[in-house]
Amino acid sequence: MVKHYLHWLTVIFSLIMLKSKEEIENYDEKAKFLNDNGWVTWYHEDNWINEDWYDDPNIRIDMAGRTTEEALKTVKQVRQRLGL
Protein backbone atom coordinates (compact mmCIF):
# COMPACT_ATOMS: atom_id res chain seq x y z
CA MET A 1 0.00 0.00 0.00
CA VAL A 2 2.75 2.47 0.94
CA LYS A 3 4.73 1.57 -2.18
CA HIS A 4 1.67 2.27 -4.35
CA TYR A 5 1.08 5.59 -2.59
CA LEU A 6 4.71 6.65 -3.03
CA HIS A 7 4.57 5.74 -6.70
CA TRP A 8 1.62 8.03 -7.39
CA LEU A 9 3.05 10.76 -5.20
CA THR A 10 6.19 10.69 -7.35
CA VAL A 11 4.13 10.81 -10.56
CA ILE A 12 2.09 13.78 -9.33
CA PHE A 13 5.18 15.64 -8.13
CA SER A 14 6.87 15.06 -11.49
CA LEU A 15 3.91 16.47 -13.37
CA ILE A 16 3.91 19.59 -11.20
CA MET A 17 7.57 20.25 -12.07
CA LEU A 18 7.05 20.04 -15.84
CA LYS A 19 6.97 23.15 -18.02
CA SER A 20 4.33 24.11 -20.54
CA LYS A 21 5.47 24.21 -24.14
CA GLU A 22 5.22 28.00 -24.05
CA GLU A 23 7.90 28.03 -21.35
CA ILE A 24 10.31 25.93 -23.43
CA GLU A 25 12.40 27.82 -25.95
CA ASN A 26 11.92 26.49 -29.53
CA TYR A 27 9.57 23.78 -28.28
CA ASP A 28 8.13 22.88 -31.70
CA GLU A 29 11.60 22.38 -33.19
CA LYS A 30 12.71 20.28 -30.22
CA ALA A 31 9.50 18.24 -30.27
CA LYS A 32 9.93 17.47 -33.99
CA PHE A 33 13.53 16.36 -33.38
CA LEU A 34 12.44 14.09 -30.53
CA ASN A 35 9.54 12.63 -32.55
CA ASP A 36 11.89 11.98 -35.47
CA ASN A 37 14.15 10.06 -33.09
CA GLY A 38 11.49 7.76 -31.63
CA TRP A 39 10.23 9.79 -28.67
CA VAL A 40 6.61 10.66 -27.86
CA THR A 41 4.95 12.75 -25.19
CA TRP A 42 3.32 10.90 -22.30
CA TYR A 43 0.50 12.63 -20.40
CA HIS A 44 2.17 16.05 -20.73
CA GLU A 45 3.94 18.05 -23.45
CA ASP A 46 7.14 18.17 -21.36
CA ASN A 47 7.16 14.47 -20.44
CA TRP A 48 8.78 12.27 -23.09
CA ILE A 49 9.25 8.52 -23.38
CA ASN A 50 11.04 6.44 -25.99
CA GLU A 51 8.70 4.33 -28.12
CA ASP A 52 10.93 1.28 -27.56
CA TRP A 53 10.03 1.37 -23.88
CA TYR A 54 6.45 0.21 -24.61
CA ASP A 55 7.72 -3.31 -25.28
CA ASP A 56 10.22 -3.50 -22.42
CA PRO A 57 8.60 -5.10 -19.36
CA ASN A 58 11.50 -3.87 -17.20
CA ILE A 59 10.62 -0.22 -17.76
CA ARG A 60 7.72 1.36 -15.90
CA ILE A 61 6.72 3.92 -18.50
CA ASP A 62 4.74 6.00 -16.03
CA MET A 63 7.95 6.53 -14.06
CA ALA A 64 10.40 6.75 -16.96
CA GLY A 65 9.46 10.07 -18.55
CA ARG A 66 12.06 12.71 -19.33
CA THR A 67 11.61 16.44 -19.66
CA THR A 68 12.10 17.91 -23.12
CA GLU A 69 15.63 19.03 -22.26
CA GLU A 70 16.56 15.69 -20.65
CA ALA A 71 15.21 13.75 -23.64
CA LEU A 72 17.16 15.98 -26.05
CA LYS A 73 20.33 15.41 -24.09
CA THR A 74 19.75 11.63 -24.14
CA VAL A 75 19.15 11.57 -27.90
CA LYS A 76 22.22 13.69 -28.60
CA GLN A 77 24.41 11.46 -26.40
CA VAL A 78 23.18 8.32 -28.15
CA ARG A 79 23.65 9.85 -31.59
CA GLN A 80 27.17 10.98 -30.65
CA ARG A 81 28.05 7.49 -29.39
CA LEU A 82 26.80 6.04 -32.69
CA GLY A 83 28.73 8.63 -34.70
CA LEU A 84 25.61 10.23 -36.20
Cα maximum dimension of the chain = 46
- As a whole number, the mean pLDDT across the chain is 85
pLDDT over 90 (residue 60): no
Residues 3-21, mean pLDDT to the nearest whole number:
66
pLDDT, residue 16, reads 65
> How large a percentage of the chain has pLDDT more than 70?
81
pLDDT, residue 21, reads 93
Cβ neighbours of 31 (radius 10 Å): 21
Q: Which domain holds residue 63?
A: 2-82
The CA distances from residue 6 to 9, 13, 48, 57, 75, in Å, are 5, 10, 21, 20, 29
pLDDT, residue 5, reads 57
Residues 28-42, mean pLDDT to the nearest whole number:
97
Instruction: Count how many domains the chain has.
Output: 1
